[in-house]
Chain A
Amino acid sequence: MIPMNMVTPPPELAAITALQSKLVSALRPILPEHALLWEPEDTIPYECDGLAAYRRMPLAVALPETEAQVAQILKVCFDMQVPIVPRGSGTGLSGGAMPISQGLVLSLAKLKKIISIDPFTRTAVVQPGVRNLAISEAVAHLGLYYAPDPSSQIACSIGGNVNENSGGVHCLKYGLTLHNVLKVRGILMSGEIVEFGSLAPDSPGLDLLAIVMGSEGMLAVVTEVTVKLIAKPKLARVIMASFDDIEKGADAVAAIIAAGIIPAGLEMMDKATTRAVEEFVHAGYDLEAETILLCESDGTPEEVAEEIERMTKVLEQAGASGIQISQNEAERLKFWSGRKNAFPAAGRLAPDYYCMDGTIPRRNIGTLLRRIQGMEKKYGLACLNVFHAGDGNMHPLILFNGADQEEWHRAEEFGTEILEACVELDGTITGEHGVGIEKINSMCVQFGEGERESFWGVKAAFDPERLLNPDKAIPTLNRCAEYGRMRISGGNLPHPELERF
């Protein structure tokens, strides 16, 4: 056996190892021992985020506990020109927190203090690692809550929500993260502490808070977020309406909005989803319906009664084949249980599922659903449709078996075709999950060269050295040129076995 020290590592590996030890030595004085990881067995949990299909090992992982440590880490990496991937709870679904092999993962999970709560001004100041739901829990006794509720809210952190401009079931009425955050304190890659927005209704200069929202961790590292709290509605009730035709269901969505109603939630599930979840949650869904709509109303009891009555009329006129209205909170939660459990239910139908995230104008929901039916046949894969119908945010779940590489590539192609259809139907390739690494090629479909160049200009304005999460969200011109060439052969990739990310 050859002793280890006799083996000469390949030059790239040697360079990485050298960079790793240099970085670790530079970060050691800043962080306590337990807050800096670099051994593979310690860093492996960070090799991917919620999109496990894309993995990469980082040079090291830093887990700062204070803002000052974050600033110092950024300064060290800036001086060494080491890229940084910020990470919150790792629940992101587009690979936005996938590590860079020659970079540091900066986990903000330990910055999880709720710094202050002010019921009078309806605000809370929280650190980025605070879980979304924890904010509402902490202020529930004041009759207040934080409105954006991404489905992952039990686990996802507010810093990640800022970076992805997350939404959720209730954003039709209450808005996205953008609409519910007043101020973000952050650190530029240069190590300078800055504040975007303010507690006042506006702040001097260009509205930089607007551009930081949803910037996928590429412009600044978030260290503190001031969120807006709103009064908890006194009551919520939900209508569950069945339709024997998908188009009718989609038209009902438009009819509700056209009637001047903005429901607190307006969600849709197709037959395949209903059947899958019913087996899982036994909520009593109509299994014969082609589609089911869940329309929630919240507010004072008087308001809710009025709105439920109006929505019921609209749904009847739109040809609902069945209507049930929740009579109490337990029933309301039962009606929602299927929608909320659609993802785990999909997980029972196939070894893997690929969750897409495109948005289209509401009027095109029926068209897209029909096109997806065609794609199911084309790719030989099933797809469940469960989505935020009120704002046209679709989440097709493509079922596949990840152990079969060829099937995974087919699922990917299927997903890409859905996103391209969204763009064609006047929509976008991502409503709330972000571009990350997953949809970076689809960015070449939605945006032209000029827009992409402008995005790089925005990036450079904040991070001229391109060190913050540099290879995510915004494709380079080369990548798009490459992708364009790959797309020429009628959607069939020339070498599907090659790694494209």
Chain B
Amino acid sequence: MSTTNNMQIDLFREQILAAVKNKTPLSIEGGGTKSWYGNANSYTKLDTRPYAGILEYQPEELVITACAGTPLKEIEAVLAEKNQVLAFEPPHFGDTATFGGAIAAGLAGPGRISAGNLRDFVLGARILDGKGQDLSFGGKVMKNVAGYDVSRLLPGSMGTLSLLLEASVKVLPRPAATTTLRCQIPQEKALQVLNEWAGQPLPLTASCWIGKPGQDGELTIRLAGALAAVKAAIPLMNAAIDAVEVDPAVAQMFWADLREQRLAVFANLQDNDTLYRLALPAACGPLSLENTSGDIILEWHGQQRWIQAPSDDATFASLKAVAHTHGGHATRFKQGSHVDPSNQRFTLLSEQVHSTALEAVQARLRAAFDPAGVFATSRLP
């Protein structure tokens, strides 16, 4: 550990202890590329960027350990040199995205459906808790069941539990071959074939359907793995959808733009509208939704759906109800520029059956790591 890093940890600790003393919560921020995500607050920022750098990376261990403030693109570039990747494909949402920010947001890109979510890849973490204690959980090995798995509680906690200093995540080799196929089919058929394929030994690693309910839409699928497996799968899948192969460069751009929400379909978000995210079980078929604008986007074989609709509470309530009926939940993912920033963005635990008692558990967990409420920014309820 370098002296600079130790000094920076001391500065963070001072900031935390001052916040404890003054009873003023700190809002943790890295590159600020996802500052629009989650409940808004105007607390003092704690900037993680001075604590940056890759601490350890040995390709044959399939693990990278880095400081929270390290730019995400730096990590991906270092991995790419060794032909390895973050298989959950975290969205950056901007050039300055950091490693810590990606973990705190817990978001995953198109690869999530086959590779797993971000949390599945986290092996260990070093944090400063709300008392300024320097603590390490988990480790740098794949198999580790010593103590509670606190490091996997951090992904998606949006800085409401502790300050993430460092994390070790598992990385994977880049697939030897990748092919993207595209066709026009209705949503219902897309959901049907995607789930059928997912139950077969096929190298299907991502899917996206864009269109309107009841009409043909554009289905794009990605096959990745051993060259032989990809080659063998194409005719088999084409028997069901009659697709065309997308030019590799165009395909690569498409998946990156989908992950970063730079596709034209996302760019049309009206100032008064909200981009809603629905997380749904695999069994969920096409939804009949009123009041939506533009196309809907289905990712992860339909388990993640993006819907643009008015921002009012009634619309959010109805989308929550639809998601809930199918066993999922809804989020006000991104709001238009004219929408009230103080809106509650997430489905609450108290709104879900069998989650009510977990509200108290969650509150006690937060109090255990942060008794003075330094990280109680309510960014995640």
Q: A188-B357, A214-B145 are in contact. Are A257 and B365 (CB under 8 A)?
A: no
B238 within 8 A of A: no
Q: For the complex formed, measure the closest distance between the CB of A319 and the CB atoms of chain B, giving whole angstroms.
A: 16
Enumerate A170-188 residues with CB–CB distance to B below 8 Å. 171-172, 175-176, 178-179, 185, 188
Q: How far is the CA of A428 from the CA of B59 in the complex (A)?
A: 20
Determine whether the beta carbon of A200 is less than 8 Å from that of B116: no
Q: How far is the CA of A151 from the CA of B173 in the complex (A)?
A: 27
Q: For the complex formed, measure the closest distance between the CB of A460 and the CB atoms of chain B, giving whole angstroms.
A: 7
Of the listed stretches A114-122, A375-383, A409-417, A476-484, name the one at the interface; the rest are far from the partner chain: A114-122
Determine whether the beta carbon of B346 is less than 8 Å from that of A258: no
Determine whether the beta carbon of B152 is less than 8 Å from that of A204: no
Q: How far is the CA of A196 from the CA of B328 in the complex (A)?
A: 13
B290 within 8 A of A: no
Q: How far is the CA of A474 from the CA of B150 in the complex (A)?
A: 13
Q: A200-B281, A204-B348 are in contact. Are A258 and B59 (CB under 8 A)?
A: yes
The interface bits of chain A over 156-197 (1 if a CB of B lies within 8 angstroms of the residue's CB, else 0) are 000000001101000110011011000001001010111110
Q: How far is the CA of A431 from the CA of B143 in the complex (A)?
A: 5
Q: How far is the CA of A391 from the CA of B143 in the complex (A)?
A: 7
Find A362's partner among B61, B116, B155 (CB 8 Å cutoff). B61
A494 within 8 A of B: no
Q: For the complex formed, measure the closest distance between the CB of A41 and the CB atoms of chain B, giving whole angstroms.
A: 34
Find A447's partner among B147, B201, B369, B380 (CB 8 Å cutoff). B147
The interface bits of chain B over 43-80 (1 if a CB of A lies within 8 angstroms of the residue's CB, else 0) are 00000000000000011111100000000000000000
Number of interface residues of B (CB under 8 A): 89
A363 within 8 A of B: yes
Q: A143-B200, A211-B152, A461-B364 are in contact. Are A433 and B119 (CB under 8 A)?
A: no
Enumerate A199-230 residues with CB–CB distance to B below 8 Å. 199-208, 210-211, 213-215, 219, 229
A201: chain B residues at CB < 8 Å are 112, 117, 279, 300, 303-304
Determine whether the beta carbon of B357 is less than 8 Å from that of A175: no
The interface bits of chain B over 225-255 (1 if a CB of A lies within 8 angstroms of the residue's CB, else 0) are 1111101100000000000000000000000
Closest to A459 in B: B148
B119: chain A residues at CB < 8 Å are 207, 210
B213 within 8 A of A: no
Enumerate B91-146 residues with CB–CB distance to A below 8 Å. 106, 112, 116-117, 119-120, 129, 133-137, 139-146
A350: chain B residues at CB < 8 Å are none
Closest to B303 in A: A201
Closest to A198 in B: B327
Determine whether the beta carbon of B143 is less than 8 Å from that of A393: yes
Closest to B137 in A: A451
B354 within 8 A of A: yes
A273 within 8 A of B: no
Q: How far is the CA of A144 from the CA of B120 in the complex (A)?
A: 22
Determine whether the beta carbon of B357 is less than 8 Å from that of A194: yes
Closest to A195 in B: B354
Known A-B contacts: A185-B354, A206-B362. Give 8 more (CB < 8 A).
Answer: A176-B143, A199-B281, A203-B329, A257-B61, A359-B144, A363-B60, A428-B144, A451-B136
- Could you write out 10 A-B pairs with CB less than 8 Å apart? A175-B120, A201-B117, A208-B362, A210-B149, A231-B198, A299-B201, A302-B231, A393-B143, A426-B139, A435-B146
- Where the two chains meet, the residues of B that have a C-beta atom closer than 8 Å to any C-beta of A are 58-63, 83-84, 106, 112, 116-117, 119-120, 129, 133-137, 139-150, 152-153, 155-157, 161, 172-174, 176, 195-196, 198-202, 225-229, 231-232, 279-283, 300, 303-304, 323, 327-329, 346-349, 351-355, 357-359, 361-362, 364-365, 367-369, 380-381
